[in-house]
Structure 1
Amino acid sequence: MSKQSEIDALRSAYQRDLADGVDRFFEPRRTACPWCGSGRLTTRLRTTDLLQHKPGRFLLDRCQECGHTFQNPRLNETGLDFYYRDFYDGLGEQRMSGTFGGRTKMYRGRAAAMLAHDATPKNWLDVGTGHGHFCEAAREVLPGTAFDGLDFTDGVELAAREGRVERAYRGAFPELAPDLTAAYDVVSMFHYLEHSTDPDDELRAAHRTVRPGGHLLIEVPDPQSRYARLLGRWWLPWLQPQHLHFVPVANLRARLTELGFTVVAEQHAEAHDPVDLLAAVWLALDHTAPREDAPWLPRPPGALRRTARAALLLAGIPALVAGTLADRFAVRPLAHRLRVSNAYRIVARRD
């Protein structure tokens, strides 16, 4: 089936979902910080879905007490299902598989972060593994380690079929954790915690799953990056509406200590993914151009709008090239010094 045929087949279902508007996709607005309970909240960002362009407006609030940033009002289960649909699977599966599958060097770097702390882990659980591309690449760094994957999408089952993970767990980590008590030398969460509805539950599940003396490896977007402020809504790691929580590094270190971990490494430059300027230019161009066809649009765009979109994106190529060069050669070597690293990584040992 062609992509256009898939879009046409899905359109009626999406239009039924949108018939009553998008307000039903949200929980009531919170009046207190979900991390520390403070009522001192301020709006940090107002934006829309800049990747899929599904309808809706999204707000991020920041706690003035602890610095935690979170989506408010937050998507409910119906909303999460609607906005995740056809992003990692369905219409988006091939695109996302290509994106994640081409990042082998980055995955090896993540695996190498464990070498100084445990160079020979017997087994490793990657939570939020998606299609398992990290596990496949990490075997080159740790050839004696058995890698398993956990995710709530069917991507983890695909990862098992393709041999990227040895064992696949499909479901919510906090619900599966009791059956995995002290089962793993290493548990990793790469850009997973920001997607969770309750990060504290996920951290408790990790503490249960890591054996005593084992390690938890976490990588998340850094809300204290200067790019988060300078680029505003065009900063890719905001990724609304999927990213629900943005945890400052001091908050995460403190919570891990409370749970019974010892933080043994904190990395910023090493976790930086040099795509900020390129992504900002692309998001702005894509937002400005007429929409490409998608099933959540009431009707396909006509020939004139398709031509106008192609022309604008073509005109934007020099800006995209400039953004790429600046990311990789001008900013990357100075990312930590300039405090623009877009992510941080923590390695914590379970006491």
Structure 2
Amino acid sequence: MSRESAIPRTPEKPSRAETVAALRPRYQADLTRGTERFFEPRRTDCPWCGSTRLARRLLTKDRYQNKPGRFRLDTCRDCRHVFQNPRLNGDGLEFYYRDFYDGMGEIELGNVFAGRDKVYRRRAMFQEPSAEPPKTWLDVGTGHGHFPEVARTVFPDTRFDGLDFTAGVELAERTGRIDRAIRGSFPELAEERLAGSYDVVSMFHYLEHSTDPRAELRAARRALRPGGHLLIEVPDPECWFGRLFGRFWLPWLQPQHLHFVTVANLREELTALGFTVTAEEHREPSDTVDLLGAVWLALNAIAPPDDSPSLAKPPGRLRWLLRCAILLAGVPALVVATTLDRLLLKPLAGLGKMSNAYRVVARCDASAHSGPR
């Protein structure tokens, strides 16, 4: 036996087509009873303020994974809260999240998040350089831990824990991006296990995914020590581009985003919980890809992504060729959109309602209370 033949070979990873084929039976079994079972009953009142003055904001499809279903966002005419209505239930959340951040989508999304070091470093630098570095930091909705990995370069002596529902948080611990993986529901864990444990709690693009944003804010209050800080970054539902581009505005991200809290509502809630808002930023957190995202989603609407396990069978070669042709024809529009985003819209971020996201930093005062409202 040769030396080369004695070395065990690493099994080849299955191709995308093989992966899709392996996943298809489970998806098809889930879809035999339709998608209506994935939703809770439709609400007639606002989940934030209780008003019954609701108006439809958006009706769209899943333009990312091309899974079947229709999704509606409503706006409260009184408090301006935007929310998914009817909202996905537990089974629906599992179905539509499946293979997006983990599983089939793990590598693709991991590469996207891994290339944002500059953004993550700016997020971490929320306090004055002369301030004492935090000793403990909990990143809620950490995913695969890319933010804590970069934040550690700013605070090398800080212990970074990560919390999430998915197995990605355990991967983050194994790869050393976080010190401790915590898997589960933040409101449940904060009640006792995490109470008073952290100097900083961060929620970067997490609150919009939660079924109950107020419960998450109360959990943050319980997890923080007096004088600790809460960092929140979310899409801004009052951004002009949300109305201009409609269902092609990237931050709507249906069906994953369930709640869009206005900055006024968030400030009011934080104050009621006993926080003091120390900073509100619109220019810095704005991820200026509005035009590029709109063009890309429009192309996906014209020529949906090719094969996916939610399709009963793989699409034919003609459809694949048609999608390739449409995407090729759309390259000039993508280039123009990217240029305009960077050269025109980025300098305007922060003016009026041009920012697609906002960030709030709030200090947890000693007299803060965390009871339900």
- TM-score under structure 1 normalisation? 0.98
Matching residue of 1:226: 240
Taking the aligned partners of 1:75 and 1:118, their CA distance within structure 2 comes to 42
Where in structure 2 are the equivalents of 1:304-343 lying within 5 Å? 304-343=318-357
Matching residue of 1:139: 152
CA offsets, 1:161-186, max 9 Å, x none?
Answer: 00000011000101111211111000
Residue among 90, 94, 98 paired with 1:77: 90
Please tell me whether the aligned partners of residues 122 and 144 of structure 1 are also in contact (alpha carbons under 8 angstroms): yes
Residue among 149, 161, 175 paired with 1:148: 161
Taking the aligned partners of 2:225 and 2:126, their CA distance within structure 1 comes to 19
Matching residue of 1:114: 127
Q: Where does the alignment leave 5 or more consecutive residues of structure 1 unmatched?
A: none
Change (3 A) 1:118 1:297: farther
Where in structure 2 are the equivalents of 1:201-212 lying within 5 Å? 201-212=215-226
Please tell me whether the aligned partners of residues 65 and 305 of structure 2 are also in contact (alpha carbons under 8 angstroms): no
Matched residue type, 2:96? Y
Deviation at 1:291?
Answer: 3.5
Deviation larger for 339-348 or 143-152: 143-152
- TM-score under structure 2 normalisation? 0.92
CA offsets, 1:132-165, max 9 Å, x none?
Answer: 0000111122222221100000010000000000
Please tell me whether the aligned partners of residues 132 and 165 of structure 1 are also in contact (alpha carbons under 8 angstroms): yes
Matching residue of 1:49: 62
Taking the aligned partners of 2:46 and 2:293, their CA distance within structure 1 comes to 30
Taking the aligned partners of 1:194 and 1:187, their CA distance within structure 2 comes to 16
Please tell me whether the aligned partners of residues 132 and 164 of structure 1 are also in contact (alpha carbons under 8 angstroms): yes
Taking the aligned partners of 2:346 and 2:122, their CA distance within structure 1 comes to 15
CA offsets, 1:213-263, max 9 Å, x none?
Answer: 000000000001111111111100000000000000000000000011000
Residue among 40, 46, 65 paired with 2:53: 40
Taking the aligned partners of 1:120 and 1:266, their CA distance within structure 2 comes to 21
Matched residue type, 1:25? F
Taking the aligned partners of 2:180 and 2:283, their CA distance within structure 1 comes to 32
Q: Would you say 1:103 and 2:116 are equivalent positions? A: yes
Deviation larger for 317-326 or 184-193: 317-326
Deviation at 1:21?
Answer: 0.8
Where in structure 2 are the equivalents of 1:247-326 lying within 5 Å? 247-326=261-340
- RMSD between aligned alpha carbons? 1.1
Please tell me whether the aligned partners of residues 25 and 79 of structure 1 are also in contact (alpha carbons under 8 angstroms): yes
More helix by share: 1
For the pair shown, the structure with the greater C-alpha radius of gyration is 2
Q: Would you say 1:64 and 2:84 are equivalent positions? A: no
Deviation at 1:2?
Answer: 1.5
CA offsets, 1:101-134, max 9 Å, x none?
Answer: 1111111111112346945111110000000000
Taking the aligned partners of 2:258 and 2:311, their CA distance within structure 1 comes to 25
Taking the aligned partners of 2:73 and 2:127, their CA distance within structure 1 comes to 33
Taking the aligned partners of 2:60 and 2:131, their CA distance within structure 1 comes to 42
Deviation at 1:337?
Answer: 1.6
Deviation larger for 118-127 or 70-79: 118-127
Deviation at 1:338?
Answer: 4.6
Please tell me whether the aligned partners of residues 202 and 231 of structure 2 are also in contact (alpha carbons under 8 angstroms): yes
Matching residue of 1:239: 253
Taking the aligned partners of 2:127 and 2:320, their CA distance within structure 1 comes to 48
Deviation at 1:286?
Answer: 1.3
Matching residue of 1:184: 198
- Runs of 4+ in structure 1 off by over 6 angstroms are none
Q: How many residues align?
A: 351
Taking the aligned partners of 2:208 and 2:355, their CA distance within structure 1 comes to 17
Matched residue type, 1:201? A
Please tell me whether the aligned partners of residues 290 and 308 of structure 1 are also in contact (alpha carbons under 8 angstroms): no
Matched residue type, 1:204? R
Taking the aligned partners of 1:133 and 1:78, their CA distance within structure 2 comes to 28
